[in-house]
Chain A
Amino acid sequence: MIERVRSLLTPWRVLLAVLLVTAAVIVTFRFAFGLGSVTNLSDETPWGIWVGFDILAGIGLAAGGFIMAAAVYVFGLERYRPLLRMSILTALIGYLLFITGLILEIGRPWNIWRCIVDHNFHSPLFEIAWCVMLYTTVLLLEFSQVVLERFGWHRLEALLHKILVPLVIVGVLLSTLHQSTLGTLFTIVPHKLHPLWYSPILPVHFFISCLAAGLAMICFEGFLSWRFLKHPPRLDLLPNLARVMALILVIYFVFRIEDLALRHALPHAFAIGLPAFLFWLENLLFVVVPVVIVFRTARRMTTRSLFAASFCAVIGFIMHRFNVAVTGMQLIHETGYFPTWQELVISMSLIALGFIAAGLAVWFFPIASAGGGDASAGRNGAYRLPWRPRAASEPAEPGTGGSR
């Protein structure tokens, strides 16, 4: 018995347990004594790392779910189907974590349902609230396929398949809306956000960058599931995603520079100082390094180059969101905000919860992308058949079922 317990206690698990217990204590303090008791937020800095990182960056990184769903179901890029389930799973986990973070972040979470009955159509946040509510539902339905299949509820599964394509289209529309509207949030403060980050068309920046970030995150997840779950990365599919990512990043960068130039804000990028440093560091990580890596290894992308590029892009993307929500405002009105260790622990715990949830889901449900002779290939192949029922006029397909 003791031996068994000891074998479960790997250092990582102990660390994880300590982290989560600490987080639970912090959450208790937060609800008992208010946000000020665990954060460095103040009247001067009302939004901090929980908004910049957990919410803005988190939602952007979860964009992979709608991108892959659109690619496979709407544009018919069938060969990317092996990546679909993992993308949808991570998007779902991302959104659930975001909602968890939101409940901790807002001051009066018991009123969160008020968005349903009290409408302010002028508020970008109102639109985001609705889109997130609806899109999380869409993600749950998209993911429920896997659950239904796991438990063998085939009739419900067949029902779901009938509405799947419209559902995916709705999901893409909802994502387009709220991913961009997250940028709209900050368009109302032209004189409070540094000109290197403010733009009246910030939603366009947010949308283009979330496409790249979503693809980067899928590639990076390939690395994570290779590292932690021993699934061989799909080197037949992921490099293509990285190439598309690089293309989007180039478009994004040109657009960003052009936007700065048109608003006469470009000189800020070349004035020596903290704003320019942050701007170039962000774009170096988000755009320059990933694009250079992808183009240099365009012919034959290795596991290493793929993950270096996607990891850099993810970090750079997080930095962009953080610069818009927190740092860019500080540059105009210095308040000396720096997150407390409690804020950092909560953010890290959310990531840790994400890992745990993903690990459990992959273990329990047929999700893993089947790479070559992977053990899960059989399971994956078996369920894939009833996914897209053919029209009735089609010829019967004797003997093809289940053999893959």
Chain B
Amino acid sequence: MSPRAKALLIDITRCIGCGACSAACKTANDLPHEVEPQLTADTWTVVLERGGERWVRDLCRHCLQPSCVSVCPVGALVKREDGAVVYNKDICLGCRYCMIGCPFRIPKFEWHSAAPRIRKCILCAPRLEKGLPTACAEACPTEATVFGDRDTLVAIARARLDADPERYHPQVYGLTEAGGTSVLFLSPLPFEELDFDTTVASFPLPDLTWRLLLHVPNVVMLGAGFLGASYWLYRRREQVALEEEGETSGSAPRTGGDHD
């Protein structure tokens, strides 16, 4: 992880569900203003009521080793130094493998467009370039979402857990999930009670495919050796048979190639 990697810390105990983050996201990213009840191609973050009177934000987690970046055949998704996972429509094939690969089911697709794009939160990458925080963090009236360096935010999260163990479930969601994400959550309840997916592996998921792809050179070399040797054996066998036949009968050798 780059030391410049930015992140978000979302404290569910502080969230009042006002939706200012979603609204600010719409403006900052030039999206249609109506906030839909779940993530869509035009709604990149939502605040959902979960577990009764608890408000949970959903958005791209900007994994430290993102599956979507790993699976994209052409590299249309990129993890930047500043932590943002961004998308380039100009090289995207629209294969939607990122949607399959994402452990948090975040990337959305423009199903009713003739030139569809993958759409998701980009951690306000253009704002980061100007040294600004994300629009959602800036808009949050209760500091339920705060923006900063990931290292700093992890420290803050841990400090809050230590300072007020009554208030929090003792876990920072996003610290290890999928090998660590750039969006960290603190919760008053166990995360599964707030519909978080707690079955997500605690290691970087791209390791699973990479481990297998590393065998490609071996398969090629062993395969080529095996096939080459088989072919050589077959020719050799045939040559020997031909010579023996030539010795015994002396005259008419077998017709080339017709053994059936």
* Chain B residues, CB < 8 A from A185: 71, 97, 100, 209
* Chain A residues, CB < 8 A from B92: 107-108, 111
The stretch of B123-131, B135-143, B163-171, B221-229 in contact with A is B221-229
Measured CA separation A390–B33 after assembly (Å): 75
Which of the residues B93, B97, B238, B255 comes within 8 Å of A108, measured between beta carbons? Answer: B93
* Chain B residues, CB < 8 A from A108: 89, 92-94, 115-116
- Asked if B182 is at the interface (CB within 8 A of a chain A CB), the reply is no
Interface residues on B, range: 35 or more
* Chain B residues, CB < 8 A from A127: 213, 216
Measured CA separation A296–B213 after assembly (Å): 40
Measured CA separation A70–B76 after assembly (Å): 37
The distance from the CB of B230 to the nearest CB of chain A, in whole angstroms, is 5
Which of the residues A34, A177, A181 comes within 8 Å of B113, measured between beta carbons? Answer: A34
Measured CA separation A395–B249 after assembly (Å): 13
The stretch of B19-27, B52-60, B198-206 in contact with A is B198-206
Which of the residues B99, B101, B227, B234 comes within 8 Å of A173, measured between beta carbons? Answer: B227
Which of the residues B100, B105, B208, B259 comes within 8 Å of A78, measured between beta carbons? Answer: B259
- Asked if B103 is at the interface (CB within 8 A of a chain A CB), the reply is yes
Task: Give the 5 A-B CB pairs with smallest separation, nearest first.
Answer: A107-B94, A36-B111, A76-B234, A78-B259, A108-B94
Against B, the Cβ 8 Å flags (1 = close, 0 = not) of A91-126 are: 000000000000001111101101100111111111
19 contacts between A and B (CB under 8 A): A34-B110, A35-B111, A43-B41, A43-B108, A44-B105, A46-B100, A76-B237, A82-B260, A106-B95, A106-B96, A107-B116, A111-B91, A118-B75, A122-B210, A129-B73, A184-B212, A185-B71, A189-B101, A388-B257
Which parts of A25-39 form the interface with B (CB within 8 Å)?
A: 31-37
* Chain A residues, CB < 8 A from B220: 173, 177
The distance from the CB of A333 to the nearest CB of chain B, in whole angstroms, is 8
- Asked if B247 is at the interface (CB within 8 A of a chain A CB), the reply is no
Contacting pair B197 A191 (CB below 8 A): yes
Which parts of A361-402 form the interface with B (CB within 8 Å)?
A: 384-385, 387-390, 394-395, 397, 400
* Chain B residues, CB < 8 A from A35: 109, 111, 116
- B231 — nearest CB in chain A belongs to which residue? A74
Contacting pair A397 B253 (CB below 8 A): yes
Which parts of B158-206 form the interface with A (CB within 8 Å)?
A: 197, 199-201, 205-206
- Asked if B40 is at the interface (CB within 8 A of a chain A CB), the reply is yes
In this complex, the member of A176, A201, A333 whose beta carbon has the largest number of chain B beta carbons within 10 angstroms is: A176
Measured CA separation A123–B208 after assembly (Å): 11
Which of the residues A31, A74, A115, A176 comes within 8 Å of B74, measured between beta carbons? Answer: A115
